[in-house]
A and B are shown apart, each in its own frame.
Chain A
Amino acid sequence: MIKARWLFAAAAIVLAPPAFAADDDTLTIGMTLSQTGPLNIDSLAQQRGAELWRDQVNDGGGIKAGDAHYKVRFVSYDDQSQGGRVQQLYTRLIVQDKAQFLFSPYSSGLCATAAVITEQYGKPMLITGGAEPKTYTLGNKYLVQVLSSADHYLTGAINALEAKAPHAKVAFVYSDDPFSKAVTLAAREQAKESGFTIVLDESYAPSTTDFSPIINKIISSSADALLGGGHYADGATLARQLYDQKADLKYVSLLVAPDSPEFASLGPAAFGITVPSQWEIQATYKPQFGPTGPEFVKAFEEKFKAPPDYHAATGYAGGALLQHAIEQASSIDADKVVAALNGMDVTTFFGHFRIATDPGHHGLQIGHEMVLAQWQKRNDQLQREVVWPKPAQTADLLYPLH
């Protein structure tokens, strides 16, 4: 009798419908979020951008595909900033939650892991949180990168430095993770082509807490400029210690960390630091669909009581591009939507969008351009200004820093 009860219970669990049963007029988009763990900050911004898009779409009646209108529903889980969780959860999103489209997790490492699963099931995934380009050389068919790839991250920083100091001595100090290494690999070549002398080239473990030995190496190298960093915690610590140890660099460009509004909490240590950015509030692109930059910023600030950073903009842009592709395809069929994305050459508030379609690089973003922002003081308040490229400038680059 007891055995029979257990069998009954097991059968009930197996046959139970997914926790969120989808209606026919609902489009289910799955994603994992780093609600806990070290990627929490950037992932949260990306999530907020996507949620703003979802709410605006649903308030406007949903996505139009032919004669049908689809409301958007998100299914998400906490990946704890761990690749191991991502594989399990994307499988669950596709198999159990019946997600029709997917948004990527945050960070290149997690995106690459999730891509293995989404490709296996033939589900389109918009990469809104991973810039590392190698994933796109593996013959994937359903990946679509929304943001500029890592090999373009420091291009603006190098061009801006070249305009000020054509023969600068450059130190590369970067986190030992896939994204930062991919960025530096490309930047190193660009620096050589620009005529810079590379006086230091070092990676550090992402868990590094004390940068004193590295900073002493930078000082010993007599570098004029420092390019590198990694993600939030390490980049902010590096910036603070550069200031505390009076590293006396003329130019510093760090990845990711200085793009967060919280970077201003470093006070004088934040001043003058530049950051390659996928998007800035001051950007003035003329969108072919979706909100303008100021409209996006206003809606975001009303909803979340905080200004958006580029991670938030990327999250929103991913949704807007998917919506446009579905509307163009007049269908929610995965292959038709991917075909529409393949053919899109458009501009949103986030900038230009066009992806490579050759089998060797399918999905790689080739249209979007980055800007370089610098923490400067305006009315005695620290804020980011766009300093490169020239047409997008809101302030001149401060060089040298000291």
Chain B
Amino acid sequence: MLGIIASIIDGVLVGSVYGLAAMGLTLIWGVMNVVNLTHGAAIVAGMFALYLLTGGLGLEPYAALLPILIGGFLAGVGLYWIAVYRLIGRPPLMTLLSTFAVNLVIVGLGTAVWGTGLFNVPVSLPGVTWQRYTFSGTHIVAAVLTAVIAALLYLFLYHTRLGKAVRAVANNREAAELAGIPTTRVLALSFGLGVALAGAAGMLIATMFPFTVLAGDAYQLKSFVVTALGGLGNPAGALLGGVALGLVEGFAAQFMPVSWTLVIEFVLFVAVLIVFPRGVFAFRRT
């Protein structure tokens, strides 16, 4: 019983980071109806940014969060102008293919530079021990930082002029344009925010687990499941979806072979798409 409770808590901690990653994906979808397939590459970029900033520049691991958020934002804005801008308003398949191609380029370059070997960022943080079970310090800090980033995103979207512009464009781009909102810049900003969130999630994941250049695929897949749970275009739902996914992973693994966890996740994915096509946590579109 204690093991089950420990796994559920662990699942919630790790799941919140899945939620942070999915927030980036769902924000981009919500604002510009683009399925960003560079999402996995952005997560991996966050991992390697942490590796380089801590290993190369000697930064403390968590001090790398702000530079990674800023770098991710700038890279995302650049990516928007390179791969997405000209395709806005075209059939969704065009942006899907465009971002997929950029993803292949980034992963290919990463493989050429670093190979597919494992990288590890040593983070020494004391964990919290309860009975025989220890909750890793990195998991706890990652969950706390995720909550802080999510709260800041909420404040930005609901209490700043720019954030309201993002929501206005998400609701109706033509109407927002008629109201004088520079929608192209808002779209670029949103893409930058989405990539920054993915990079931050990658950075937090890299404090918890070793990683490779190819690690992004697994987290991108999880982001899709989380996005379906939370509702497309709903960042708050994505965070809840992530926590729910982590909880399912932790809970299910206690009652069945762990190799079944993936099956459960995707059964859940299909079931949610059928029963709640707008997402379980889609209270309303932001």
Contacts and interface: CB of A to CB of B under 8 A. Distances in A.
A245 B117 contact: no
A20 B65 CA distance: 51
Nearest to B107: A36
The number of chain A residues touching the other chain, given as a range, is 35 or more
Contact of B212 (A38, A204, A216, A220): A38
- Among A36, A209, A210, A236: residue with most chain B CB under 10 A: A210
Contacts of A262: 117-118
A212 B250 contact: yes
A220 B138 CA distance: 22
B204 to A, nearest CB: 13
B274 interface: no
A209 B115 contact: no
B257 A216 contact: no
A26 interface: no
Contacts of B137: 244
Contact of A213 (B11, B212, B218, B262): B11
B136 A214 contact: no
Contacts of A209: 205, 209, 215, 218-219
Interface in A203-227: 203-205, 207-210, 212-214, 216-217, 219-220
Given A240-B120, A245-B136, A213 B210 contact: no
A212 B247 CA distance: 12
Interface residues of B, number: 44
A232 interface: yes
B7 A41 contact: no
Contacts of A232: 117-118
A217 B6 CA distance: 10
A237 interface: yes
A39 to B, nearest CB: 8
Contacts of B215: 209, 233
A267 B119 CA distance: 12
A176 interface: yes
B254 interface: yes
Interface in B68-115: 108, 111, 115
Given A209-B215, A213-B10, A216-B10, A38 B116 contact: yes
Nearest to B257: A202
B179 interface: no
Given A237-B210, A262-B118, A213 B133 contact: no
Contacts of B54: none
A44 interface: yes
A36 B108 CA distance: 9
B238 interface: no
B152 interface: no
A207 B127 contact: no
B183 interface: no
B108 to A, nearest CB: 8
15 contacts: A36-B111, A40-B115, A176-B259, A202-B257, A204-B259, A205-B262, A207-B262, A209-B205, A212-B14, A217-B254, A217-B258, A219-B133, A237-B209, A245-B127, A260-B117
Given A38-B116, A214-B253, 6 more contacts: A41-B117, A207-B218, A216-B133, A219-B132, A244-B127, A245-B134
Interface of B: 2-3, 6-7, 10-11, 14, 108, 111, 115-120, 122, 127, 129, 132-139, 205, 208-210, 212, 214-215, 218-219, 249-250, 253-254, 257-259, 261-262
Interface of A: 36-41, 44, 176, 202-205, 207-210, 212-214, 216-217, 219-220, 232-233, 236-237, 240-241, 244-246, 248, 257, 260, 262, 265-267
